[in-house]
Amino acid sequence: MRFSFSTARLVLLLGWLGSTLSLPSPGPDLENDEQNGPERGPKVITRDVCIIGGGASGTYAAVRLRELGHSVALVEREDHLGGHTRTYYDPEGRPIDYGVWVYSNNTDAARFFAHFNIATARQDFTRISEGSQRIDLRTGQRVPPPSGSVVEAMTRYAQILLQFPYLADGWDLPDPVPEDLLLSFRDFIARHNLGPAVETLTLYVQGLGDILDYPAVYVMKYFSFAVLLGIQQGFTTSASLANGRLYEAAQAELGDDVLLSSTAIAASRSADGHRILVSTPEGKQLIQADKLIIAIPPLPQNLEPFDLDDRESETFAQFGNSYYYTTVIRLPGVPNNVQILNRAVDTEYNAPVLPGAYVFYPSQVPTLFMGFFGGGDQDLSEEEVRETIIDNALQLRNAGYDVADPEILAYGNHSPFQLFVSSEAIANGFYRDLYSLQGLRKTWYTGAAWHAHDSAALWRFTERLLNERVIGG
């Protein structure tokens, strides 16, 4: 969960919240693969479950399945596990999390950290004594705080969330879908007089793009009641302030069951079992598994190797997505007890103009900030993101900060980020159709598209999926 926080005052204000199948066409290559040599085909790995994607959900699934007595193979395209989790270490070895930062509190999160003997702590927000500075990062112009009562607006929002408790467990929506969930976020704000709360809400749902046009349900899924409780009670994070160590421990435990820097290139799926051909640094390997879990964003381009049928293809093709990037940036001249919020002077509710930074949040290392950046619906190159975020940082000079030579030290591309469909599609049963794919051809799915961008919530979702469907179904 990536959050930027406003002032300690906000924390106080919210104290009221209580088998043998043929692969499609690679036959000759399997027999005479250049990487593996002409005398043999790819190495064959036989497991109970193959998992595609080593982010929060896929890593959790692999660890838990092994713990429950099932053999696994986990395929991850990066050279490490962790997905959106990113930890930068400065030259003195001090960590800065600039991806997944904190976790909402539930028993599955507590158990997962405890499994690896990783101590946790509560995130302390009161450190930012000067609070939030609202600045239009296009110009450096100061922007006033929201007018009206934030407490009253957030109270109304909490009461609305309590009307839809099923949102905490996934996308099992009633039919018909309640109108409030289908409103654009703009109309939802107007209906419930939530204007004073918009800044807070949007800061906690970074990465959604032009948020006012989204169906309100996506905001409610992201800014959940668990988030409200986290604001009141504190969120969970690793005591070392290095969340990447959780995945380092998982990688060490999984050992040879993880194929890093690897991608599936062809697959044959059926009720009798699966064969997944994987490209690895050691050559092509063939995974034979009884069951398959896909824990990557279910976009057609990501799932092309998995011989999708028409039903699967038509469902996944409906998704759109946003683009989201994170950085560690050096900002000499900005005090380390100040959070810079990007707010526009000429937009509804002063929402920031994208592409652009959402916030510069100070780390525990002097002059080093976490810079969270929204691309909206634009798929930007790394160079474009770096140029824009540096331009945003330089505008702080016009706001009175003596910013000298800002420098980006770490960069993370979290795209595709939020997967979404239209309100019309939701009303017409999109998520019912999506969930009906669970177990089809002995394939199950997990990840943010199936619930929310919240690692702890995804661990809980994955735990239920494993016990109720993958193992027990």
Dist CA 301 CA 212 (whole Å): 28
Length of the chain as a residue count: 473
SS3 289: strand
Determine the residue type at 393.
Answer: A
Tokens 């009641």 found at: 225
Reading the block at residue 171, the tokens are 């996308």
Q: How far apart are CA 373 and CA 198, in angstroms?
A: 18
Burial of 383 (0-12, 13-18, 19+ CB in 10 A): exposed
Domain ranges of the chain: 43-85+242-320+421-470, 125-233+324-415
The closest of 365, 396, 356 to 134, measured between CA atoms, is: 396
Q: How far is C-alpha 182 from the geometric centre of its chain's CA atoms?
A: 22
Query: What was the pLDDT predicted at 123?
Result: 82
Q: What is the pLDDT of residues 292-339, one digit of tens each?
A: 999 999 999 999 999 999 999 999 999 999 999 999 999 999 998 899
Contact between 306 and 264 under an 8 Å Cβ cutoff? The reply is yes
Helices (H), 48-205: 56-67, 107-115, 150-161, 179-182, 185-192, 198-203
Burial of 147 (0-12, 13-18, 19+ CB in 10 A): exposed
What pLDDT sits at residue 41?
76
Q: Which residues of the chain have pLDDT under 70?
A: 1-40, 124-130, 473
CATH level 2 (architecture), domain 43-85+242-320+421-470: 3-Layer(bba) Sandwich (3.50)
Which pLDDT score, from 0 to 100, does residue 10 have? 37
| Neighbour tally for 377: CB within 10 Å | 13
Q: Quick count: other Cβ atoms within 10 Å of Cβ 154?
A: 22
Q: What residue type is 321 in one-letter code?
A: N
Counts for the chain of helices (H) and strands (E), in that order: 17, 20
125-233+324-415 is a CATH 2.40.160 domain: no
- Predicted confidence at residue 37, as pLDDT, reads 46
CA 419, 425, 426, 428 dihedral sign is negative
Q: How far apart are CA 224 and CA 167, in angstroms?
A: 8
Per-residue pLDDT at 40: 60
Residue keyed to tokens 């997990």:
446
- Single out the residue of 270, 256, 257, 251 nearest to residue 309, CA to CA: 270
The Cα–Cα gap between 44 and 46 comes to 6
Q: Does 125-233+324-415 match 43-85+242-320+421-470 at the fold level?
A: no
